[in-house]
Each structure stands twice: as structure tokens, then as C-alpha cells.
Amino acid sequence: MTDYFVGIDIGGTKVALCLGDAQGNIIFSRRMKTSSLGRADEGLPKIVILIEKLLHDYSLELKHIRSIGLACPGPLSIKEGMLITPPNLPGWHYTPIVSYLHTRLNLPIFMNNDANAGALAEWKFGSAKHVDHLIYLTMSTGMGGGIVINGKLLTGPTNTAGEVGHFVLDPDGAKCPCGQRGCLEVYCGGGNIARMLQDMINGGAKTKILDEAQALEKVDMKSLIMAVKRKDHLATKVWKDYIEKLAQGIGTLLMVLNPDAIILGTIAVQTQELIMQPLLAALPRFAWKIPLAHCFIGASRLGDKIGELGALALAIEGGSSYHDSPSTN
């Protein structure tokens, strides 16, 4: 009998659920806005209902599912199966999500943060498949990172390895939702950039960004990118600053970890050469020639399925690379 796996990817903007097989083929999937879940006490029962409906639509029962992979925003505790204080999910702080789902569904559930799940998906299914040392950057609402060393996810004793979005580039910089100042995510997280642009426009800045968004509250990375393509002065300056900070962050990773590949997520996938050409041109200011020349740096080829594939990869790999979760004791 074919083994089926369920992947659940909970992000700052969307939640994606999928049914897949051991080869990473997505058989059926469904997405919804994260905001529609509400707080954890409302959202957890909704996730269970969505899983049951997903299986019903494909004429399967829970007994046909081998395991569930759960990709969530950090920080989290893999050992306790708990979300701790995810900056982009304030209503989900200290949520024992694994034990809840295991109690309701009675299936093995393997959790990791969304960036680590993305790194595992890239390592299993992506353009840098099975390289020894890989780094994946989510580049979405936030700036998460996942690190594979010698073919294994690096999680660290407190499950915070790879939190590259929160190393500090400027201690006097703007405050990050994590509580620190001047984090990489402040300068390169899509959510923070959107808020910064909204403040600038609200303060009187003239820009085609607002024309693209059509409403202040809809100003986001997409409208910024469209304005950059129209050579808008403010958008071009913000984009240049974005590239500079991204190069600084990636340069640090190159010098510390000397990876074989650095795979870039959502924003790089959406912008391609608009980001890659200036980024590669800026990197020699932040990293030595030899590690830079060795490393493949490019946008993910897994596209907008990276969330689902990351969650599936967690389910397929099971507990082999991680601390035990409560569901596997």
C-alpha cells in the first residue's frame, strides 16, 4: 500500500496543507490566510478540520497516513512540540501544537521551523540536492534560515540554530518584532519593509509604490518591486538598501559556514535577475573570493510549493534528524 504523508506549513501570511507521497509529489493541497485561523485556541481545531476534509476529498482515512510534517515559524521547541514566541504570530505564543494535533489525530507528528523545513526540502528535492553544506533563506514575510551540515539539519541545543534573520547588523537600527534592534529581518523581511514603506508614504513621500498598491494598507514587497521596474526614485533607493543589507547578511554566512549552496526563497523567486544581478555584484564587498566562488547562490526552483514540500520533507524524514517530539515518545 502506498504511504501517504500530510504536510502543514504555517506561515506569517498563509497556511498550506498538502497530501503527498514519499518522493515529494504533492497529490492534493489547500491554502488559506493565516489570519483566518485567529488565535491558537480557535486555529488548532480549524487545522484538524482542514486535515480531515483534505483526506475526505481524496477518499482517504487517517489510517492511510504514515506521518504529519509540521513547519512553523520560530522560535519553537522541537523537544516540547511547542511554538514559543513567533514574532509574526502573536496569538500563538507558547502553543503546544504537536501534543494537541497528536491527541486529536493519533499520528506521528514531526515539527521544525519553516526555514529548516525549507532547507530540508531544498536538500531532498531542489537544485542543490544532497550537497554536503546548504543554507536556505526564506525571504518572505520574515527572514528565516535553515542550515544543512554534512547532510543533516543543524538545529542546536535550543532549536535556534539558523535564526539568521535575527543576527544584528546594526545595534542602533530600527526595532525588530523579536525585541532586538537592527536585525537582518528588519532590513530584509517583507513585512518590515512593507510597514516602513507605509510609514514613509503616510509621512508624505511621493512614490509610484502607492500607485501600484492602490491603497496604503496594501503597500507590500510586490508593489515595491513593480515600482522598481518603473524606475521610481524612492523604490529604487529602498531596493538598493535592501540589496546591500542582504549582501551583508549572506556575506556573513559565507564567511562563517563556507557552504556549497545558498538557496533564496520567495522574494528571490518572484524577482529573479532584479535581485540576483545586484546581489552577486555586491557580495565581494562582504565575503572572500574563494568561498564566494565555490558557493552556488540562486533562487529556489521549488517555487511557491516550498512550504508544502518543506512540511512533507519533515514528515518523510520522520524523527531521524531531530530530537524526539512528544508524538514519538
Asked if residue 122 belongs to a domain, the reply is no
Give the alpha-carbon dihedral of 76, 81, 83, 84, to 10 degrees: -60
Asked if residue 131 belongs to a domain, the reply is yes
Q: Please report, for the domain that includes residue 23, its CATH number.
A: 3.30.420.40
pLDDT along the chain (329 residues), means of 10: 87 89 90 92 94 90 94 88 87 96 95 92 91 94 92 88 93 92 96 95 95 96 96 97 98 97 95 95 98 97 90 82 41
Asked if 123 contacts 134 with a C-beta cutoff of 8 angstroms, the reply is yes
Total of domains in the chain? 2
Q: Which of 143, 96, 148 is nearest to 126 (CA)?
A: 148
φ/ψ (deg, to 5) at 90 = -60, -25
Task: State which residues form the domain around 26.
Answer: 4-114+314-328
Q: In this structure, are 97 and 64 located in the same domain?
A: yes
Rounded CA separation 125/115 (Å): 15
Q: In this structure, are 220 and 102 located in the same domain?
A: no
Q: In this structure, are 320 and 283 located in the same domain?
A: no
Asked if residue 245 belongs to a domain, the reply is yes
Q: In this structure, are 137 and 242 located in the same domain?
A: yes
Q: In this structure, are 192 and 270 located in the same domain?
A: yes
Half-sphere exposure of residue 216: CA atoms within 13 angstroms, side-chain side: 11
Rounded CA separation 137/266 (Å): 9
> Between the CA of residue 230 and those of 203, 204, 224, 233, what are the distances in Å?
22, 20, 10, 9
Report pLDDT for 293. 98
Q: Which amino acid is at 49?
A: I
Asked if 112 contacts 156 with a C-beta cutoff of 8 angstroms, the reply is no
Report pLDDT for 127. 86
Q: In this structure, are 14 and 81 located in the same domain?
A: yes
Asked if 72 contacts 96 with a C-beta cutoff of 8 angstroms, the reply is no
Q: In this structure, are 146 and 104 located in the same domain?
A: no
Half-sphere exposure of residue 285: CA atoms within 13 angstroms, side-chain side: 12
Asked if 15 contacts 24 with a C-beta cutoff of 8 angstroms, the reply is no
Report pLDDT for 26. 94
Report pLDDT for 116. 93
- Output Rg (C-alpha) for the chain, integer angstroms: 20
Q: In this structure, are 71 and 151 located in the same domain?
A: no
Q: In this structure, are 154 and 250 located in the same domain?
A: yes
Asked if residue 308 belongs to a domain, the reply is no
Rounded CA separation 185/293 (Å): 26
Q: In this structure, are 174 and 244 located in the same domain?
A: yes
Report pLDDT for 329. 38
Asked if residue 121 belongs to a domain, the reply is no
Q: Tell the residue number behind the cell numbers 489570519, with chain if given.
A: 35
Question: What pTM did the predictor assign?
Answer: 0.86
Q: In this structure, are 9 and 108 located in the same domain?
A: yes
Q: In this structure, are 188 and 214 located in the same domain?
A: yes
Asked if residue 306 belongs to a domain, the reply is no
